[in-house]
Amino acid sequence: ETSRALRSDFVEPRRQAALGLLRRAQATGEIAANTDIEVLADALWGPIFHRLLVSRMPLDRGFIDKLLDLVLGGARPAQAAAR
């Protein structure tokens, strides 16, 4: 029951918000059209939850910036990635 409540009350609303942001970025060409947004969201959230729940390593701005560069770098349109 607690697990279900955590998913429905905490995780899912945040996931849907993130998917909305990523879809808008895809619609404006900031993310390649052929990018699987569901997988991209998981690739972004997975390391964050791992740090929070498993390794308990710091979740600071430096980590987030590196994560975004790494994950979103692979989702940029070809012409933007070549720059």
* pLDDT surpasses 80 at 83: no
53-77: b (≥16 Cβ within 10 Å) or e: eeeeeebeeeeeeebeeebbeebbe
- For 64-80, write each residue's pLDDT tens digit: 999 999 998 888 887 65
d(CA 57, CA 26): 31
Q: Can you give the pTM of this predicted structure?
A: 0.76
Half-sphere exposure of residue 14, counting CA atoms within 13 Å on the CB side?
10
Mean pLDDT of the chain: 89
**Predicted pLDDT of residue 80:** 58
Tokens linked to 67: 């994560």
* pLDDT surpasses 60 at 82: no
